[in-house]
Amino acid sequence: RKEVEQDPGPFNVPEGATVAFNCTYSNSASQSFFWYRQDCRKEPKLLMSVYSSGNEDGRFTAQLNRASQYISLLIRDSKLSDSATYLCVVNKNTGGFKTIFGAGTRLFVKA
């Protein structure tokens, strides 16, 4: 089982739709969590950090559920420009610091 798992998708949604992605992690010692966005043939860029209390940035909401060991990303009112791959990132510090990227969830927003 991978340490960080994501549904690879693709998710095909119309403009204006609400879409949600989940990411599960296996190590309960995981300490910090992020969502990155990667456009086709580009480098990843930070979308948002994920806090225990949940956090919102405009149309994007990220949540962490430590008990069930998953994080989520909700995108409201999808735009064409939201089309990208969304990468879940988990940091842990057990016998050495490690950052683990999920394989990503592909999103296509269509007009």
Partner 1 sequence: GAGVSQSPSNKVTEKGKDVELRCDPISGHTALYWYRQSLGQGLEFLIYFQGNSAPDKSGLPSDRFSAERTGGSVSTLTIQRTQQEDSAVYLCASLKGAADYEQYFGPGTRLTVT
Catalog residues that contact partner 1 under the rule CB under 8 A. Answer: 31-32, 34, 36, 42-46, 87, 91, 96-104
Smallest separation (angstroms) from partner 1 to the CB of 65: 19
Question: What is the distance, to the nearest Å, from the Cα of residue 103 to the centroid of all Cα atoms in its chain?
Answer: 10
21: nearest Cα among 92, 110, 99, 85? 85
Smallest separation (angstroms) from partner 1 to the CB of 27: 14
Nearer to partner 1, 18 or 91 (CB): 91
5: nearest Cα among 62, 85, 90, 66? 90
Smallest separation (angstroms) from partner 1 to the CB of 55: 14
Cα dist. 26→52, 82, 99, 103, 108 in Å? 17, 28, 13, 15, 28
Nearer to partner 1, 64 or 102 (CB): 102
Nearer to partner 1, 57 or 77 (CB): 57
